[in-house]
Amino acid sequence: MTDNNGERKMGLRFGVIGTGSRAEKFAKTIRRQKEFEITAICDLNLNKAKRYAMDHNVKLATDKINDILEVVDAVYITTPPATHVDIAKEALLSKKHVLCEKPLALAEDRADMLFTLADVNDTVIMEVMPTKYCEGYRELLKVAKSGKIGTIMDVEASYTKLTPTNKREITDEKYGGAVVELGNYCILPIIDLLGAAYNSVSFHSLFLSNGVDTYSKIYFDYGKATATAKVGLEVKSEGNLVISGTKGSIYVPSPWWMTSKFQVRYEDPKKNETFSYNFADTGFQYELDEFSRRAAEAELFGKQNIRMENGRRKGNDELISIRSARVIQEFLKDRFKTFEETGVREHIERAQQVKIWAHRGCSMYNPENTLEAFKAAADLKGLTGIEFDIQMTRDGEIVVIHDESVERTTDGIREVKDYKLSEIRALTIDAGGGMRTNVPTLEEVLRLLKPYCIKTGLLLNIELKTGKYRYKGIEEKALALVRKYELSNYVIWSSFRAESIKHIKELDPKAKTGMLGFYLEDCIVYGRKVGADALHPCVAGLNVRLPKYLKGVTVRAWNTDEPFFKGKVSLKEAHLERYLDFGVTDIFTNIPEMYLKRKTLSINDALV
Protein backbone atom coordinates (compact mmCIF):
# COMPACT_ATOMS: atom_id res chain seq x y z
CA MET A 1 0.00 0.00 0.00
CA THR A 2 1.28 3.49 -0.86
CA ASP A 3 0.07 7.00 -0.02
CA ASN A 4 -0.41 9.97 -2.34
CA ASN A 5 3.32 10.66 -2.28
CA GLY A 6 4.17 7.14 -3.37
CA GLU A 7 5.50 6.15 0.06
CA ARG A 8 4.83 2.66 1.31
CA LYS A 9 2.18 2.41 4.04
CA MET A 10 0.89 -0.50 6.03
CA GLY A 11 -2.67 -1.41 6.90
CA LEU A 12 -2.83 -2.04 10.64
CA ARG A 13 -5.12 -3.81 13.07
CA PHE A 14 -4.95 -1.82 16.31
CA GLY A 15 -5.55 -2.87 19.86
CA VAL A 16 -6.43 0.07 22.10
CA ILE A 17 -5.21 -0.19 25.69
CA GLY A 18 -7.10 2.17 27.98
CA THR A 19 -10.37 4.03 27.58
CA GLY A 20 -11.15 7.69 28.01
CA SER A 21 -11.26 10.85 25.92
CA ARG A 22 -8.06 10.13 23.97
CA ALA A 23 -9.22 6.63 23.11
CA GLU A 24 -12.46 8.16 21.84
CA LYS A 25 -10.58 10.60 19.60
CA PHE A 26 -8.42 7.77 18.33
CA ALA A 27 -11.49 5.74 17.36
CA LYS A 28 -13.02 8.68 15.49
CA THR A 29 -9.80 9.19 13.53
CA ILE A 30 -9.47 5.50 12.70
CA ARG A 31 -13.03 5.47 11.41
CA ARG A 32 -12.09 7.95 8.69
CA GLN A 33 -9.07 5.96 7.46
CA LYS A 34 -9.86 2.74 5.62
CA GLU A 35 -6.42 1.16 6.01
CA PHE A 36 -6.75 0.98 9.80
CA GLU A 37 -9.18 -0.74 12.14
CA ILE A 38 -9.54 -1.28 15.86
CA THR A 39 -9.92 -5.00 16.46
CA ALA A 40 -9.56 -5.13 20.24
CA ILE A 41 -9.94 -2.93 23.33
CA CYS A 42 -8.36 -3.62 26.72
CA ASP A 43 -9.09 -1.89 30.01
CA LEU A 44 -8.66 -3.07 33.59
CA ASN A 45 -12.32 -2.16 34.01
CA LEU A 46 -13.97 -4.76 31.79
CA ASN A 47 -17.28 -2.88 31.74
CA LYS A 48 -15.52 0.15 30.27
CA ALA A 49 -13.89 -2.03 27.64
CA LYS A 50 -17.24 -3.55 26.70
CA ARG A 51 -18.89 -0.13 26.38
CA TYR A 52 -16.05 1.09 24.16
CA ALA A 53 -16.37 -2.03 22.01
CA MET A 54 -20.09 -1.50 21.64
CA ASP A 55 -19.73 2.20 20.80
CA HIS A 56 -17.04 1.64 18.17
CA ASN A 57 -17.92 -1.79 16.78
CA VAL A 58 -14.81 -3.47 18.18
CA LYS A 59 -14.81 -7.27 18.08
CA LEU A 60 -12.84 -8.08 21.25
CA ALA A 61 -13.19 -6.44 24.66
CA THR A 62 -10.96 -7.71 27.46
CA ASP A 63 -9.19 -6.76 30.67
CA LYS A 64 -6.08 -8.79 29.79
CA ILE A 65 -3.35 -7.34 27.57
CA ASN A 66 -2.20 -10.77 26.36
CA ASP A 67 -5.63 -11.34 24.82
CA ILE A 68 -5.32 -8.44 22.41
CA LEU A 69 -1.67 -9.10 21.50
CA GLU A 70 -2.81 -12.26 19.77
CA VAL A 71 -5.14 -10.46 17.33
CA VAL A 72 -3.47 -7.13 16.47
CA ASP A 73 -0.53 -5.71 14.53
CA ALA A 74 -0.09 -2.67 16.76
CA VAL A 75 -1.25 -1.21 20.06
CA TYR A 76 -2.26 2.30 20.99
CA ILE A 77 -1.54 2.95 24.68
CA THR A 78 -3.59 5.60 26.47
CA THR A 79 -3.31 4.54 30.10
CA PRO A 80 -1.87 6.60 33.00
CA PRO A 81 1.81 7.57 32.39
CA ALA A 82 3.28 5.30 35.07
CA THR A 83 1.99 2.24 33.18
CA HIS A 84 3.31 3.12 29.70
CA VAL A 85 6.71 1.44 29.86
CA ASP A 86 5.55 -1.96 31.10
CA ILE A 87 2.71 -2.17 28.59
CA ALA A 88 4.90 -1.00 25.69
CA LYS A 89 7.63 -3.48 26.66
CA GLU A 90 5.18 -6.38 26.67
CA ALA A 91 3.86 -5.38 23.24
CA LEU A 92 7.32 -4.99 21.71
CA LEU A 93 8.44 -8.37 23.03
CA SER A 94 5.39 -9.78 21.25
CA LYS A 95 6.63 -8.06 18.07
CA LYS A 96 3.78 -5.56 17.96
CA HIS A 97 4.24 -1.96 16.88
CA VAL A 98 3.55 0.59 19.61
CA LEU A 99 1.93 4.02 19.44
CA CYS A 100 2.02 5.44 22.96
CA GLU A 101 0.53 8.57 24.46
CA LYS A 102 2.95 11.04 25.99
CA PRO A 103 4.97 10.81 28.05
CA LEU A 104 6.40 7.58 26.69
CA ALA A 105 8.49 7.12 29.83
CA LEU A 106 9.23 8.89 33.09
CA ALA A 107 12.95 8.12 33.07
CA GLU A 108 15.65 8.36 30.37
CA ASP A 109 16.94 4.81 30.63
CA ARG A 110 13.42 3.39 30.38
CA ALA A 111 12.74 5.31 27.18
CA ASP A 112 16.06 4.20 25.70
CA MET A 113 15.28 0.59 26.59
CA LEU A 114 11.99 0.73 24.65
CA PHE A 115 13.65 2.02 21.48
CA THR A 116 16.31 -0.67 21.76
CA LEU A 117 13.63 -3.33 22.11
CA ALA A 118 11.87 -1.97 19.03
CA ASP A 119 15.12 -2.25 17.03
CA VAL A 120 15.81 -5.79 18.16
CA ASN A 121 12.28 -6.92 17.32
CA ASP A 122 12.00 -5.07 13.97
CA THR A 123 9.09 -3.05 15.29
CA VAL A 124 8.22 0.62 15.61
CA ILE A 125 7.55 2.59 18.76
CA MET A 126 6.36 6.18 18.57
CA GLU A 127 5.33 8.68 21.19
CA VAL A 128 2.10 10.44 20.18
CA MET A 129 2.91 13.98 19.10
CA PRO A 130 0.88 14.99 16.01
CA THR A 131 2.62 18.38 15.93
CA LYS A 132 5.82 16.73 14.67
CA TYR A 133 4.23 15.52 11.47
CA CYS A 134 1.94 18.35 10.39
CA GLU A 135 2.97 20.52 7.45
CA GLY A 136 2.84 23.80 9.36
CA TYR A 137 5.26 22.69 12.07
CA ARG A 138 7.70 21.15 9.61
CA GLU A 139 7.74 24.34 7.56
CA LEU A 140 8.19 26.36 10.75
CA LEU A 141 11.38 24.43 11.50
CA LYS A 142 12.66 24.99 7.98
CA VAL A 143 12.06 28.74 8.15
CA ALA A 144 13.56 29.03 11.64
CA LYS A 145 16.72 27.19 10.55
CA SER A 146 16.98 28.95 7.17
CA GLY A 147 18.72 32.01 8.57
CA LYS A 148 15.75 34.34 8.10
CA ILE A 149 15.88 35.33 11.77
CA GLY A 150 19.63 34.84 12.11
CA THR A 151 21.05 32.69 14.87
CA ILE A 152 18.42 31.32 17.23
CA MET A 153 19.11 32.62 20.73
CA ASP A 154 15.92 31.77 22.62
CA VAL A 155 12.83 29.57 22.37
CA GLU A 156 9.76 30.13 24.54
CA ALA A 157 6.94 27.57 24.35
CA SER A 158 3.75 27.64 26.40
CA TYR A 159 0.92 25.15 26.84
CA THR A 160 -1.62 25.58 29.62
CA LYS A 161 -5.19 24.51 30.21
CA LEU A 162 -7.76 24.66 33.00
CA THR A 163 -8.26 21.13 34.30
CA PRO A 164 -11.20 19.92 36.42
CA THR A 165 -10.00 19.32 39.93
CA ASN A 166 -11.09 15.69 40.14
CA LYS A 167 -9.06 14.53 37.14
CA ARG A 168 -6.09 12.18 37.43
CA GLU A 169 -3.67 14.89 36.27
CA ILE A 170 -4.49 16.81 39.45
CA THR A 171 -5.10 14.03 41.96
CA ASP A 172 -2.25 11.65 41.09
CA GLU A 173 0.23 12.56 43.81
CA LYS A 174 3.13 10.64 42.24
CA TYR A 175 2.81 11.20 38.52
CA GLY A 176 0.24 13.95 38.07
CA GLY A 177 0.96 17.58 37.34
CA ALA A 178 1.69 20.00 34.54
CA VAL A 179 5.21 18.87 33.65
CA VAL A 180 4.28 15.21 33.26
CA GLU A 181 1.03 15.99 31.44
CA LEU A 182 2.13 18.81 29.12
CA GLY A 183 5.91 19.10 29.28
CA ASN A 184 6.58 17.05 26.15
CA TYR A 185 4.67 19.49 23.96
CA CYS A 186 6.91 22.40 24.87
CA ILE A 187 10.14 20.40 24.96
CA LEU A 188 9.55 19.38 21.33
CA PRO A 189 10.33 22.72 19.60
CA ILE A 190 13.13 23.48 22.05
CA ILE A 191 15.07 20.34 21.15
CA ASP A 192 14.10 20.55 17.48
CA LEU A 193 15.56 24.06 17.27
CA LEU A 194 18.40 24.09 19.81
CA GLY A 195 19.30 20.41 20.01
CA ALA A 196 19.41 17.86 22.81
CA ALA A 197 22.77 18.90 24.26
CA TYR A 198 21.65 21.48 26.79
CA ASN A 199 24.05 22.29 29.63
CA SER A 200 21.51 22.23 32.43
CA VAL A 201 17.80 22.31 33.19
CA SER A 202 16.03 23.84 36.18
CA PHE A 203 12.45 24.23 37.36
CA HIS A 204 10.21 26.72 39.10
CA SER A 205 6.78 25.43 40.08
CA LEU A 206 3.62 26.23 42.00
CA PHE A 207 2.45 23.18 43.96
CA LEU A 208 -0.79 22.03 45.52
CA SER A 209 -0.69 20.63 49.04
CA ASN A 210 -0.53 17.11 47.59
CA GLY A 211 2.72 17.90 45.77
CA VAL A 212 1.24 18.16 42.27
CA ASP A 213 2.54 21.06 40.20
CA THR A 214 -0.26 23.12 38.68
CA TYR A 215 2.08 25.59 36.97
CA SER A 216 5.73 25.13 36.06
CA LYS A 217 8.48 26.84 34.13
CA ILE A 218 11.33 24.72 32.79
CA TYR A 219 14.54 26.62 32.05
CA PHE A 220 17.12 25.24 29.61
CA ASP A 221 20.66 26.60 29.52
CA TYR A 222 22.47 26.00 26.22
CA GLY A 223 25.43 28.24 26.98
CA LYS A 224 25.03 30.56 23.99
CA ALA A 225 21.25 30.13 23.87
CA THR A 226 18.39 29.65 26.28
CA ALA A 227 14.87 28.24 26.29
CA THR A 228 11.78 28.19 28.50
CA ALA A 229 8.87 25.76 28.59
CA LYS A 230 5.80 27.00 30.44
CA VAL A 231 3.07 24.50 31.35
CA GLY A 232 -0.01 24.71 33.56
CA LEU A 233 -3.14 22.81 34.57
CA GLU A 234 -4.83 25.50 36.67
CA VAL A 235 -3.36 28.60 35.05
CA LYS A 236 -4.32 29.87 31.61
CA SER A 237 -1.65 31.67 29.57
CA GLU A 238 -1.49 32.65 25.91
CA GLY A 239 -0.29 29.27 24.61
CA ASN A 240 2.06 30.65 21.99
CA LEU A 241 5.54 29.85 20.69
CA VAL A 242 8.20 32.53 20.24
CA ILE A 243 11.56 31.91 18.55
CA SER A 244 14.03 34.77 18.98
CA GLY A 245 17.01 35.29 16.68
CA THR A 246 19.72 37.83 15.94
CA LYS A 247 17.86 39.19 12.87
CA GLY A 248 14.22 38.71 13.84
CA SER A 249 11.72 36.46 15.55
CA ILE A 250 9.00 33.97 14.75
CA TYR A 251 5.65 34.18 16.49
CA VAL A 252 3.27 31.21 16.45
CA PRO A 253 -0.14 32.02 17.96
CA SER A 254 -2.12 29.71 20.22
CA PRO A 255 -2.54 26.83 19.78
CA TRP A 256 0.98 26.63 18.37
CA TRP A 257 1.00 22.82 18.73
CA MET A 258 -1.70 22.71 16.02
CA THR A 259 0.49 24.78 13.73
CA SER A 260 -1.59 26.43 11.03
CA LYS A 261 -0.09 29.93 11.00
CA PHE A 262 3.09 31.74 12.02
CA GLN A 263 4.69 35.10 11.37
CA VAL A 264 8.31 36.05 10.83
CA ARG A 265 8.84 39.45 12.44
CA TYR A 266 11.64 41.92 11.78
CA GLU A 267 12.81 45.22 13.20
CA ASP A 268 10.96 46.86 10.32
CA PRO A 269 7.36 45.55 10.62
CA LYS A 270 6.75 46.27 6.94
CA LYS A 271 8.99 43.29 6.13
CA ASN A 272 7.03 40.86 8.30
CA GLU A 273 6.01 37.62 6.58
CA THR A 274 2.99 35.45 7.39
CA PHE A 275 2.80 31.73 6.57
CA SER A 276 -0.44 29.71 6.65
CA TYR A 277 -1.09 25.96 6.42
CA ASN A 278 -3.90 23.47 6.94
CA PHE A 279 -4.18 21.51 10.16
CA ALA A 280 -6.84 18.82 9.96
CA ASP A 281 -9.02 18.15 13.00
CA THR A 282 -6.89 16.97 15.98
CA GLY A 283 -3.92 16.08 13.78
CA PHE A 284 -4.07 12.42 14.78
CA GLN A 285 -4.14 11.35 11.13
CA TYR A 286 -0.66 12.85 10.63
CA GLU A 287 0.61 10.64 13.42
CA LEU A 288 -1.11 7.56 12.02
CA ASP A 289 0.24 8.15 8.52
CA GLU A 290 3.81 8.42 9.83
CA PHE A 291 3.32 5.42 12.10
CA SER A 292 1.99 3.34 9.21
CA ARG A 293 4.88 4.37 6.96
CA ARG A 294 7.44 3.38 9.58
CA ALA A 295 5.67 0.10 10.27
CA ALA A 296 5.80 -0.72 6.56
CA GLU A 297 9.53 0.08 6.49
CA ALA A 298 10.13 -2.04 9.56
CA GLU A 299 8.35 -4.97 7.99
CA LEU A 300 10.26 -4.59 4.72
CA PHE A 301 13.70 -4.26 6.27
CA GLY A 302 12.96 -6.83 8.94
CA LYS A 303 12.02 -9.47 6.36
CA GLN A 304 15.19 -8.71 4.41
CA ASN A 305 17.15 -8.87 7.67
CA ILE A 306 18.69 -5.50 6.83
CA ARG A 307 18.98 -2.78 9.45
CA MET A 308 18.27 0.74 8.33
CA GLU A 309 20.77 3.51 8.63
CA ASN A 310 21.12 4.57 12.28
CA GLY A 311 19.15 1.53 13.41
CA ARG A 312 15.89 2.66 11.88
CA ARG A 313 16.13 5.98 13.72
CA LYS A 314 15.47 8.74 11.25
CA GLY A 315 15.57 12.33 12.37
CA ASN A 316 15.63 13.13 16.05
CA ASP A 317 12.22 11.82 17.15
CA GLU A 318 13.76 9.15 19.34
CA LEU A 319 16.20 11.61 20.86
CA ILE A 320 13.35 14.01 21.68
CA SER A 321 11.42 11.26 23.48
CA ILE A 322 14.50 10.19 25.44
CA ARG A 323 15.47 13.74 26.39
CA SER A 324 11.88 14.54 27.38
CA ALA A 325 11.93 11.51 29.66
CA ARG A 326 15.18 12.81 31.17
CA VAL A 327 13.63 16.21 31.87
CA ILE A 328 10.59 14.61 33.52
CA GLN A 329 12.88 12.33 35.54
CA GLU A 330 14.87 15.30 36.83
CA PHE A 331 11.70 17.22 37.61
CA LEU A 332 10.09 14.37 39.54
CA LYS A 333 13.26 13.79 41.54
CA ASP A 334 13.37 17.49 42.43
CA ARG A 335 9.64 17.59 43.20
CA PHE A 336 9.64 14.53 45.44
CA LYS A 337 12.54 15.90 47.45
CA THR A 338 10.92 19.32 47.85
CA PHE A 339 7.54 17.96 48.83
CA GLU A 340 8.90 15.36 51.23
CA GLU A 341 10.87 18.03 53.04
CA THR A 342 8.16 20.67 53.24
CA GLY A 343 4.65 19.37 52.96
CA VAL A 344 3.84 15.71 53.27
CA ARG A 345 3.21 15.53 57.02
CA GLU A 346 1.09 18.70 57.06
CA HIS A 347 -0.72 17.43 53.96
CA ILE A 348 -1.79 14.19 55.66
CA GLU A 349 -2.69 15.87 58.94
CA ARG A 350 -4.96 18.34 57.14
CA ALA A 351 -6.63 15.56 55.17
CA GLN A 352 -7.67 13.87 58.39
CA GLN A 353 -9.59 16.98 59.39
CA VAL A 354 -12.04 16.82 56.47
CA LYS A 355 -15.57 15.89 57.54
CA ILE A 356 -17.33 13.07 55.72
CA TRP A 357 -21.00 12.96 54.74
CA ALA A 358 -22.91 10.06 53.19
CA HIS A 359 -24.38 11.29 49.90
CA ARG A 360 -27.92 9.85 49.68
CA GLY A 361 -26.78 7.42 52.37
CA CYS A 362 -24.24 4.66 51.72
CA SER A 363 -25.33 4.78 48.11
CA MET A 364 -22.72 2.57 46.45
CA TYR A 365 -23.67 -0.57 48.37
CA ASN A 366 -27.35 0.29 48.89
CA PRO A 367 -30.07 1.87 46.75
CA GLU A 368 -29.73 5.64 47.10
CA ASN A 369 -32.13 7.65 49.29
CA THR A 370 -33.60 4.56 50.97
CA LEU A 371 -33.99 3.65 54.61
CA GLU A 372 -31.44 0.87 54.06
CA ALA A 373 -28.84 3.32 52.75
CA PHE A 374 -29.49 5.73 55.61
CA LYS A 375 -29.28 3.03 58.29
CA ALA A 376 -25.96 1.77 56.87
CA ALA A 377 -24.58 5.31 56.90
CA ALA A 378 -25.80 6.16 60.38
CA ASP A 379 -24.00 3.10 61.74
CA LEU A 380 -20.61 4.28 60.40
CA LYS A 381 -18.23 5.45 63.10
CA GLY A 382 -16.88 8.94 62.48
CA LEU A 383 -19.52 10.03 59.94
CA THR A 384 -20.46 13.71 60.18
CA GLY A 385 -23.84 13.51 58.49
CA ILE A 386 -26.18 12.20 55.82
CA GLU A 387 -27.37 14.10 52.75
CA PHE A 388 -30.70 13.36 51.05
CA ASP A 389 -33.21 14.98 48.68
CA ILE A 390 -36.89 15.82 49.06
CA GLN A 391 -39.70 16.42 46.57
CA MET A 392 -43.48 16.75 46.76
CA THR A 393 -46.15 14.40 45.45
CA ARG A 394 -49.31 15.46 43.65
CA ASP A 395 -51.24 15.35 46.92
CA GLY A 396 -48.69 17.49 48.77
CA GLU A 397 -46.74 14.82 50.66
CA ILE A 398 -42.95 15.00 50.99
CA VAL A 399 -40.92 12.03 49.78
CA VAL A 400 -37.18 11.37 49.66
CA ILE A 401 -35.92 10.91 46.09
CA HIS A 402 -33.34 12.64 43.91
CA ASP A 403 -34.48 12.60 40.28
CA GLU A 404 -37.61 14.47 39.20
CA SER A 405 -38.54 11.25 37.37
CA VAL A 406 -38.82 7.95 39.23
CA GLU A 407 -37.67 5.90 36.22
CA ARG A 408 -33.95 5.55 37.08
CA THR A 409 -34.39 4.28 40.63
CA THR A 410 -37.81 2.58 40.70
CA ASP A 411 -40.05 0.45 38.48
CA GLY A 412 -42.16 3.52 37.68
CA ILE A 413 -41.90 5.84 34.68
CA ARG A 414 -43.55 9.16 35.56
CA GLU A 415 -42.33 12.23 37.42
CA VAL A 416 -42.63 12.51 41.17
CA LYS A 417 -45.06 15.42 40.94
CA ASP A 418 -47.51 13.27 38.95
CA TYR A 419 -47.91 10.59 41.63
CA LYS A 420 -50.05 10.59 44.76
CA LEU A 421 -48.26 9.36 47.86
CA SER A 422 -50.11 6.04 47.78
CA GLU A 423 -49.07 5.54 44.15
CA ILE A 424 -45.41 6.34 44.65
CA ARG A 425 -45.33 4.12 47.74
CA ALA A 426 -46.58 1.25 45.59
CA LEU A 427 -43.47 1.50 43.39
CA THR A 428 -40.53 -0.73 44.26
CA ILE A 429 -36.76 -0.31 44.19
CA ASP A 430 -34.32 -3.14 43.44
CA ALA A 431 -32.26 -3.65 46.61
CA GLY A 432 -30.25 -6.59 45.25
CA GLY A 433 -30.39 -10.27 46.09
CA GLY A 434 -34.03 -10.45 45.08
CA MET A 435 -34.99 -7.89 47.72
CA ARG A 436 -37.16 -4.84 47.05
CA THR A 437 -37.62 -1.58 48.95
CA ASN A 438 -39.64 1.62 48.59
CA VAL A 439 -39.38 5.38 48.27
CA PRO A 440 -39.46 6.68 51.87
CA THR A 441 -41.27 9.74 53.15
CA LEU A 442 -39.39 12.53 54.89
CA GLU A 443 -41.18 11.64 58.11
CA GLU A 444 -39.95 8.04 57.95
CA VAL A 445 -36.37 9.20 57.45
CA LEU A 446 -36.52 11.65 60.35
CA ARG A 447 -38.03 8.98 62.59
CA LEU A 448 -35.23 6.54 61.68
CA LEU A 449 -32.35 8.98 62.12
CA LYS A 450 -33.47 10.95 65.18
CA PRO A 451 -31.87 8.52 67.69
CA TYR A 452 -28.53 8.81 65.89
CA CYS A 453 -28.75 12.60 65.88
CA ILE A 454 -29.39 12.67 69.62
CA LYS A 455 -26.79 10.02 70.50
CA THR A 456 -23.88 10.81 68.16
CA GLY A 457 -24.63 14.32 66.91
CA LEU A 458 -25.31 13.07 63.36
CA LEU A 459 -26.23 15.94 61.06
CA LEU A 460 -28.78 15.85 58.23
CA ASN A 461 -28.49 17.81 55.00
CA ILE A 462 -31.91 18.11 53.39
CA GLU A 463 -31.72 19.20 49.76
CA LEU A 464 -34.84 20.97 48.52
CA LYS A 465 -35.22 19.74 44.93
CA THR A 466 -36.82 22.94 43.70
CA GLY A 467 -34.50 23.61 40.78
CA LYS A 468 -36.82 22.25 38.08
CA TYR A 469 -40.20 22.42 39.83
CA ARG A 470 -40.92 25.03 42.47
CA TYR A 471 -43.08 22.74 44.68
CA LYS A 472 -45.00 25.54 46.36
CA GLY A 473 -45.12 25.10 50.13
CA ILE A 474 -42.39 22.45 50.34
CA GLU A 475 -40.23 24.62 52.61
CA GLU A 476 -43.08 25.15 55.11
CA LYS A 477 -44.06 21.48 55.22
CA ALA A 478 -40.50 20.18 55.53
CA LEU A 479 -39.67 22.70 58.24
CA ALA A 480 -42.79 21.69 60.16
CA LEU A 481 -41.76 18.02 60.10
CA VAL A 482 -38.24 18.82 61.29
CA ARG A 483 -39.71 20.83 64.17
CA LYS A 484 -42.13 18.00 64.96
CA TYR A 485 -39.18 15.66 65.52
CA GLU A 486 -37.20 18.37 67.35
CA LEU A 487 -34.30 18.12 64.90
CA SER A 488 -33.86 21.78 63.90
CA ASN A 489 -30.39 21.92 65.45
CA TYR A 490 -29.26 18.91 63.40
CA VAL A 491 -30.48 19.99 59.96
CA ILE A 492 -28.82 21.95 57.14
CA TRP A 493 -31.05 23.03 54.25
CA SER A 494 -29.58 23.21 50.75
CA SER A 495 -30.85 23.92 47.24
CA PHE A 496 -29.71 24.93 43.76
CA ARG A 497 -32.53 27.50 43.85
CA ALA A 498 -31.42 30.57 45.79
CA GLU A 499 -35.07 31.49 46.33
CA SER A 500 -35.60 28.35 48.43
CA ILE A 501 -32.60 29.15 50.61
CA LYS A 502 -33.91 32.67 51.11
CA HIS A 503 -37.40 31.39 51.96
CA ILE A 504 -36.09 28.94 54.57
CA LYS A 505 -34.23 31.83 56.22
CA GLU A 506 -37.42 33.89 56.22
CA LEU A 507 -39.36 31.05 57.86
CA ASP A 508 -36.61 30.32 60.39
CA PRO A 509 -33.80 32.90 60.71
CA LYS A 510 -31.82 30.41 62.81
CA ALA A 511 -31.91 27.70 60.14
CA LYS A 512 -28.55 26.61 58.74
CA THR A 513 -28.34 26.67 54.94
CA GLY A 514 -25.98 25.70 52.12
CA MET A 515 -25.94 27.20 48.62
CA LEU A 516 -25.66 24.46 46.00
CA GLY A 517 -24.00 25.01 42.65
CA PHE A 518 -21.71 23.25 40.22
CA TYR A 519 -19.02 25.93 40.42
CA LEU A 520 -17.64 27.27 43.69
CA GLU A 521 -17.69 30.73 42.16
CA ASP A 522 -21.48 30.50 41.60
CA CYS A 523 -22.01 29.24 45.15
CA ILE A 524 -20.13 32.27 46.45
CA VAL A 525 -22.09 34.76 44.33
CA TYR A 526 -25.59 33.40 45.01
CA GLY A 527 -24.84 32.32 48.54
CA ARG A 528 -23.83 35.86 49.40
CA LYS A 529 -27.09 37.23 47.98
CA VAL A 530 -29.29 35.02 50.15
CA GLY A 531 -27.10 34.85 53.24
CA ALA A 532 -26.29 31.13 53.00
CA ASP A 533 -24.25 29.76 55.88
CA ALA A 534 -22.25 27.31 53.75
CA LEU A 535 -21.22 26.67 50.16
CA HIS A 536 -21.92 23.36 48.39
CA PRO A 537 -19.98 23.13 45.07
CA CYS A 538 -19.14 20.10 42.94
CA VAL A 539 -15.55 18.89 43.30
CA ALA A 540 -15.22 19.25 39.52
CA GLY A 541 -16.32 22.87 39.82
CA LEU A 542 -13.70 24.07 42.29
CA ASN A 543 -12.60 26.68 39.79
CA VAL A 544 -11.41 29.37 42.21
CA ARG A 545 -9.63 29.49 45.54
CA LEU A 546 -11.80 30.56 48.45
CA PRO A 547 -11.45 34.35 48.92
CA LYS A 548 -9.78 35.51 52.12
CA TYR A 549 -12.94 37.22 53.34
CA LEU A 550 -14.65 33.80 53.36
CA LYS A 551 -11.92 32.13 55.39
CA GLY A 552 -13.58 29.88 57.94
CA VAL A 553 -16.82 29.39 56.02
CA THR A 554 -18.01 25.80 55.67
CA VAL A 555 -17.52 24.36 52.17
CA ARG A 556 -19.17 20.99 51.56
CA ALA A 557 -18.21 19.56 48.16
CA TRP A 558 -20.04 16.81 46.30
CA ASN A 559 -18.65 14.33 43.78
CA THR A 560 -20.16 13.27 40.42
CA ASP A 561 -17.58 10.58 39.61
CA GLU A 562 -18.51 8.00 42.22
CA PRO A 563 -20.70 4.95 41.59
CA PHE A 564 -24.25 4.46 42.80
CA PHE A 565 -25.76 1.09 43.64
CA LYS A 566 -25.83 -1.02 40.45
CA GLY A 567 -24.66 2.01 38.47
CA LYS A 568 -22.37 2.02 35.44
CA VAL A 569 -19.76 4.42 36.80
CA SER A 570 -16.61 2.70 38.03
CA LEU A 571 -15.07 3.38 41.43
CA LYS A 572 -12.21 5.87 41.55
CA GLU A 573 -9.87 6.45 44.47
CA ALA A 574 -10.88 9.28 46.75
CA HIS A 575 -8.52 12.21 47.18
CA LEU A 576 -9.55 14.32 50.14
CA GLU A 577 -6.30 16.26 50.14
CA ARG A 578 -6.84 17.80 46.74
CA TYR A 579 -9.95 19.65 47.82
CA LEU A 580 -8.34 21.33 50.82
CA ASP A 581 -6.65 23.90 48.58
CA PHE A 582 -10.04 25.37 47.75
CA GLY A 583 -11.12 25.66 51.36
CA VAL A 584 -13.20 22.47 51.34
CA THR A 585 -14.10 21.40 54.87
CA ASP A 586 -16.59 18.59 54.20
CA ILE A 587 -17.15 15.97 51.48
CA PHE A 588 -20.47 14.49 50.33
CA THR A 589 -19.59 11.03 49.03
CA ASN A 590 -21.33 7.84 47.88
CA ILE A 591 -18.46 5.88 49.44
CA PRO A 592 -18.11 7.23 52.99
CA GLU A 593 -16.78 3.83 54.07
CA MET A 594 -13.62 4.34 52.00
CA TYR A 595 -13.06 7.93 53.09
CA LEU A 596 -13.47 7.07 56.75
CA LYS A 597 -11.07 4.15 56.42
CA ARG A 598 -8.42 6.47 54.98
CA LYS A 599 -8.97 8.95 57.79
CA THR A 600 -8.20 6.31 60.39
CA LEU A 601 -4.68 5.79 59.01
CA SER A 602 -1.98 7.09 61.29
CA ILE A 603 0.49 9.64 59.95
CA ASN A 604 3.25 7.00 59.81
CA ASP A 605 1.00 4.52 57.97
CA ALA A 606 0.11 7.17 55.41
CA LEU A 607 3.74 8.15 54.92
CA VAL A 608 4.63 4.52 54.22
Question: Tell me, what amino acid is at 64?
Answer: K
Residue 560, H or E segment: none
Contacts of 464 (CB under 8 A, 6+ apart): 390, 471, 474, 475, 478, 493, 494, 495, 497, 500, 504
User: 3-state SS of the chain: helix, strand, coil percent to 5?
Assistant: 40, 25, 40
DSSP 53-112: HHHHT-SEEES-HHHHHTS-SEEEE-S-GGGHHHHHHHHHHTT-EEEEPSPS-SSHHHHH
Q: How many residues in the chain?
A: 608
Distance CA 373, CA 388 (A): 10
Q: CB burial class (10 A; 0-12, 13-18, 19+) of residue 346?
A: exposed
Which among 418, 75, 124, 63 has a CA at the least distance from the CA of 295?
A: 124
- Would the CA dihedral through 227, 231, 237, 241 be positive or negative? positive
Confirm if 216 and 206 have CB atoms less than 8 A apart. Answer: yes
Distance CA 323, CA 7 (A): 29
Distance CA 528, CA 549 (A): 12
Contacts of 359 (CB under 8 A, 6+ apart): 387, 558, 559, 562, 588, 589, 590, 592
Q: Rounded to the nearest 10 degrees, how much is the dihedral formed by the CA atoms of 485, 488, 493, 499?
A: 100
Name the residues annotated as catalytic. 359, 402
Distance CA 452, CA 365 (A): 20
Q: CB burial class (10 A; 0-12, 13-18, 19+) of residue 224?
A: exposed
Contacts of 163 (CB under 8 A, 6+ apart): 169, 170, 233, 234
Contacts of 138 (CB under 8 A, 6+ apart): none
Confirm if 206 and 212 have CB atoms less than 8 A apart. Answer: no
Alpha helix ranges (H) inside 265-382: 284-303, 317-342, 344-351, 371-378
Confirm if 39 and 14 have CB atoms less than 8 A apart. Answer: yes
Alpha-carbon 76 to chain mean position: 19
Confirm if 459 and 385 have CB atoms less than 8 A apart. Answer: yes
Angle at 280 between CA 273 and CA 254, to 5 degrees: 50
Q: CB burial class (10 A; 0-12, 13-18, 19+) of residue 414?
A: middle
Confirm if 279 and 259 have CB atoms less than 8 A apart. Answer: yes
